[in-house]
Structure 1
């Protein structure tokens, strides 16, 4: 009798294992799971099921591992060579329920595997104390008739929130019928869930009404509005006590927005969070939204420095020598042509002799676009030489004028230095940045000797170069020899009338950055936020929001030109070389007049005597 009973039990187990095996094989293929782990509690009475399943899976060419767990830590997802492992819970007793409840209390653990639970009891009752995050694929398999298994996926938006359940598929007659939609698409409805986020007002990227704790706009605020609409959730905002982006110190203590996320006071940071390696130790980030640059800003020099060769610079030395030789050559040819004409009787005689000094004066006048005197030789050969002289002079004057006008019209102010190395060597300016900022941490943790020198010489607290906000930093730039490291998106919102001067950037010193939304470590909403951020890219929404920001700030133009506006005027110092030449000529003329007067009086005295 006992032998017959044993055979009946084995046949029943084999029948159950056939359906379980079919579901296992189908789901492993569906999820492309590289590893399958069979798990059951030590208190289970059905010990034959695991052994039979392991043997049947091996028969079908699938390598699996089987474990009997004694504490929740043995349920933790194991490593797999590719894709997430498939953890199969064969037991559904009280020990399994308690182990799942304790394991799910550890943040970020459940989502590292795909879970399959074969359940013989009521679903809500068994999972009432288990937190299954929204990014975890947890499938519950329950028998539905003789040869069918119903599959249901379950999750919660947060601990102590209702359990969401959705039909995932059904296995029957050795075939699996499941939803083909991806996890990120089928769970893109957060059912009005309220996410706690930290933020603070920082136009133009984030505009937050801190009194009413309501987001008003800005690039990141508008992106968050779009995510709220697409994922169907609301937001409760928390403002950090220390109003700053935040810093991560060597002992992993944090401040500002970073501190709120690291301490778990909020899930998301709706703010332009700069991605750094140190921050990634205590928080997480979404895909980047904006990639601005950190520039070194200095006060633009008031005007051009005086250069005495300004009016000689349009032509090279060789060209100036050529022009001088041309003038001498033409001045030498004219009197010789005239003399030859008179000698052969083909040139009219003039009362005033036409000598080399007269010719030199007229040729110089031609190059200065002055006309010839009627007393100049009228010989045809001389007229041809006049014509070619004027044509040459017109072309040379046009080229000279165009180059000189371009030079006077375009203000290429010469900065005292163009790189950080030159700033160190010059020693004329101090370098500063925002306190509690990422730039400060960047130089503080730098391995490059140059950055280490900059931190020790300029950015250490003892030097007093750190400022609490952008406005104070720009005021120091305009009022003293102070260079300031900041983002273009932060500086451009302060117009020249507000900061008191025009700014220039060091052309060879900038740092590329990436700004994104901040997240807590192992945030269950990260994958969904990233997915819909990418859809915002693909749909063109994010590009439209960026274009709106750039248009309002005129940022695209500011990235590629010096920050100089308005009409440009020719200043006195531009004309100083010419005025000096004019003054020198007046003095020399007056001196010559006095010498001639003195010489004339002595001559008159001699004749009188």
Structure 2
């Protein structure tokens, strides 16, 4: 933590010190100028001079004069403000004297949220800032300034407490002189308060794909890792704090119970048992009543997962679907016509070409097979053709066949590889219409609350028919819920996509996400309500985002788990080519049968010939 005077650069202070000629407390017009400079610096257009009881008539007259001086500087002054108005407007609260203000400050500390306003107190040079605030706790996120004469000029010092165990923190951020005016430190609010001086935070954690928990030999949590753990460890180094880790007895994030209390980690933070939740927790409107969420860390969708449907029996039509029926008929007709023309060409070639004597045995079905081989892009040695017309016909056949074969092969492979799974339903509405599956959610989770409080008719019906009746039987963890999808018939479970992908290797079955049955959400860290450290945490998380640290951590720990499972592609397997294998086996069997007939016929012919010779 910076010591007094450390926050102001020498190049800023030195000119102001040279111009300091004050020998006593500033006059009311000079105080008005200081007030105006402070209001301008913090972009405030409203000033509330506090009337402190016990200061006497002179103090009250000073307040009136200050209002008169500020009236011409486009700054509004108020004689009374309700606390909520003060918070909404962003007011500069001014105390023109602190001789009898300790009791008033103590009252203000409890009645007005200091963290939402700026405070300025003028002190005599012989007064001690530490003594004034010895019994007054100034929140860490409160901008409380003290103006005090020192060495002939007015020094502006900000004061605050980190926690009750540490002394008052002071930081010199500006000075004012009648000749030069106001000079301010170039350091920002969170640069001046970047260190928490080893303050201990009690953090609640849960094991999960985005948060790894490491325990010691005694079973106590020593540290956390993975995506959230690395973010938290970096924040510890930047902000100079330490952590004591705790976990919920019921291993749940928490929901509001019937009696109005919360369980899980949220219940712990509501009961002041922990200060922060340093694991990925989903942002929810209901939860905002007891915690404040830090800057969003990543977006996640919670999908409905079911067991991947069993593949249907082999579909013979898959191998005919690349071409239409008309095209298949045209191809068959072309093969027959080309076979006839090729056969005629061979015959004509034999009649008018003496070199073609050896092709007399070429028959019509030989021509059919020849053209069929050509369409399959197979080379052939017979017949030997010397006719240019037959060669032209062969080249034309091959060129036509290669185009058809490439088109058929490409379409068939893409059809078998990038196939779509036939799902029993595709959305929450279809789920209700089908009525074939049960639905489970994580016990004591925000998903349960989402279904319960949703205004969507389908979500309401799902809660009343499937979720609420089985409230006591919902899984205690995401892994348990996904395992139920595999072990129970027609069971579905709501789980964030990156969590489901993290557990895929531990499951005995394949899962599929219903593409239109999901709940969008944002995951982040949470801190107790009205915590003075929320702004510092959010400021540093935003710095990590601008520096690319969050993106690097997401790439290292989450990108492999954020696969779009509903569009996941799987390669063609042996089940998809069962018809081809069946045709192959049928062909082998048929050839064996024909071979047996040929052997029998050959033996019968040989026997007949031998008998005839006798």
Aligned pair in 2 of structure 1 residues 528, 373: CA closer, same or farther (>3 Å)? closer
Deviates more, 1:219-228 or 1:289-298: 289-298
String of CA shifts for 1:514-550, please: whole Å, max 9, x gaps. Answer: 1111011111001111111111122232223222213
- 168, 178, 202: which is aligned to 1:173? 178
Cα distance, 1:57 vs. partner?
1.5
**Number of the residue aligned with 2:70:** 57
Per the TM alignment, residue 392 of structure 1 is displaced from its structure 2 partner at its CA by 2.5
Q: Give the Cα separation in 2 of the matches to 1:239 and 1:223.
A: 19
Q: How does 1:468-507 map to 2 (within 5 A)?
A: 468-480=476-488, 481-496=490-505, 498-507=506-515
Residue 226 (structure 1) aligned with residue 234 (structure 2): yes
> Do the aligned partners of residues 52 and 317 (structure 1) sit closer, same or farther apart at CA in structure 2, a change above 3 Å counting?
same
Is 1:131 the counterpart of 2:137? The answer is yes
Equivalent residue number for residue 452 of structure 1: 460
1:264 alignment partner in structure 2: 272
Match for residue 9 of structure 1?
none
1:417 corresponds to which residue?
425
Q: Which residue of the other structure, out of 36, 43, 47, is the alignment partner of 1:32?
A: 43
Of the three residues 115, 118, 122, the one matched with 2:122 is: 118
Decide whether the 8 Å contact of 2:377 with 2:402 is kept in 1. yes
- 1:253 equivalent to 2:261? Answer yes
Correspondence 1:530 to 2:538: yes
Corresponding residue number in structure 2 for 1:541? 549
The aligned runs of 1:47-446 (5 Å cut-off) are 47-67=60-80, 76=83, 78-79=85-86, 84-94=90-100, 96-105=101-110, 109-120=113-124, 121-144=127-150, 148-159=153-164, 161-173=166-178, 175-209=181-215, 211-249=219-257, 252-303=260-311, 305-335=313-343, 337=345, 359-360=367-368, 362-368=370-376, 379-408=387-416, 412-446=420-454
- Return the alpha-carbon distance in structure 2 between the equivalents of residues 428 and 463 of structure 1: 19
Aligned length: 568
Helix, strand or coil at the partner of 1:40: coil
Unaligned runs of 5+ in 2: 1-23, 602-614
CA distance in 1, matches of 2:543, 2:353: 94
Alpha carbons 1:77, 1:109 under 8 Å: kept:
no
- TM-superposition CA deviations, 1:95-136 (whole Å, max 9, x none): x42232233246x81111100112344322322221111100
Task: Give how far 1:38 is off.
Answer: 0.9
SS of 1:55's partner is: helix
TM-score by length of structure 2 reads: 0.81
Q: What is the CA deviation profile of residues 236-265 of structure 1, one whole-angstrom value per residue up to 9, with x for unaligned ones?
A: 233333321111357752111112222333
Structure 1 unmatched ranges of 5 or more = 1-12, 68-73, 597-609
Between 254-263 and 404-413, the greater mean CA deviation after superposition: 404-413
Counterparts in 2 of 1:144 and 1:194: CA distance versus 1, 3 Å: same
Contact 2:314/2:575 (<8 A) preserved: no
TM-score normalised per structure 1: 0.82
Contact 2:252–2:444 under 8 Å retained in 1: yes
- Cα deviation for residue 508 of structure 1 reads 3.2
SS of the residue aligned with 2:173? strand
State whether residues 498 and 562 of structure 2, in contact with CA within 8 Å, keep that contact through their aligned partners in structure 1.
no
Tell me by how many angstroms 1:75 deviates: 7.5
Kindly tell me: are residues 573 and 473 of structure 1, through their superposed partners in 2, closer, same or farther at Cα, counting changes over 3 Å? farther
1:178 to partner: Cα distance? 2.7
Distance in 2, Cα, partners of 1:192 & 1:429: 53
Q: Which stretch shows the higher mean deviation, 227-236 or 417-426?
A: 417-426
Moved more, 283-292 or 313-322: 313-322
2:123 and 2:148 in contact (8 A); partners too: yes
